[in-house]
Structure formats: C-alpha cells, structure tokens
Copies of this chain bind each other. A is one copy, B any other.
Amino acid sequence: MIDVENLKLEELLAIAVRAEMDAKETYARMADSVDNFVLKDRLRFLSAEEEKHRQIFTGILKRKFPNSSVKIPESGEVPLPDVKFDDEMVNISEVLQQAMDAEMAAHEFYAAMRDKAEDEEMKKILDYLSSAEMGHYYLLETEIKAVKYAELFDNYNEMMHVGP
C-alpha cells in the first residue's frame, strides 16, 4: 500500500496525519448516519480517538522535523483503503467491514513506520498507535456482530424485564 521503505519519515508522518483526519471525518459521518444509539456512541468514540492520533502525528512532525516543507496530502492522495458509504448506510455491516480493513491497514502502516524509525521515542509512540488501531479493529468486529445479532439481543433484554 504505502511505500514505507522508499518514502522519507517526514513524508510518512504527513500521510499519517491525513489518514487520521480522514478517519476522524469518516467515523463522525458514520455516527451521524446510524440510528442505533450504542453504535452511534461507539463511532463517536472512534472519531475522537483518531483526532487524538492526528494531534500526536502533527506533534511528532513539528518536533522532529521543525523545518520540514512536506505538505499534508489531500484526501484522495493517500494510498490507504477508503470507507465508502452514502448517508443512508443501507448495509451497516458492510461499511463497518470497510472500516475494519482501514484500521488493519493503519495498524500495519504504523508498525512498518515503527520498524523504520531509528529514534527510540518515535518508535515507542508508533508502537502505541499501531496497537490502538488494532484495538479499533476488534471493536468494529464486535460491533458488526452486535448489528447482525441485534434482534437476538432484543429478545434477551425483554426477558430481563420479566425475570425477578
């Protein structure tokens, strides 16, 4: 996907900033589009997480490359999987699956950057960010199952109100 080997670290960081900006927007738009309030809340949480990641990447760029002239790429220029959906979100599971693919790609991208970085501080932060995206991947996997089995859960919740 991203040519981690041949791009400079500051270029990779700029790509990561854009990736996080897009991810934040995508989750925010998904959150606006779904009715299920638990899923809405989860998607808002993910959006806020990606905003924190953007801030961290922006911070690294400024701190480690204070004189960099590298520009943050535009949305379409980042070779990472896109999450495509219209605002009706007809097939929520399918959209969540795309988001899972994007998280896995981000996880792998940051792990490759971590391995390339020589600065111990940067390695650690990239290691953290790589783990965080893996966490998102499994959160989304769980939400897909929650959406698929929603009716079953409703049945059990009903039962809860009947019991002692």
Contact = CB atoms under 8 A, between A and B. Distances in A.
A103 B59 CA distance: 33
Interface string A122-164: 0011011001101101110110011011001101110110110
A73 to B, nearest CB: 19
A128 B149 contact: yes
Given A135-B139, A138-B135, A128 B156 contact: no
A63 to B, nearest CB: 5
Interface string A89-116: 0000000000000000000000000000
Nearest to A144: B131
Contacts of A139: 135, 139
A16 to B, nearest CB: 14
A56 interface: yes
A33 interface: no
B124 A160 contact: no
DSSP class of A's interface residues: helix, strand, loop or mixed?
helix
A141 B107 CA distance: 14
A106 to B, nearest CB: 13
Nearest to A157: B59
Contacts of A149: 124-125, 127-128
Q: Which of A56, A62, A135 has the most CB of B within 10 A?
A: A135
Contacts of A58: 160, 163
A55 interface: yes
Given A156-B56, A156-B60, A156-B63, A135 B142 contact: yes
Given A134-B138, A135-B139, A159 B63 contact: yes
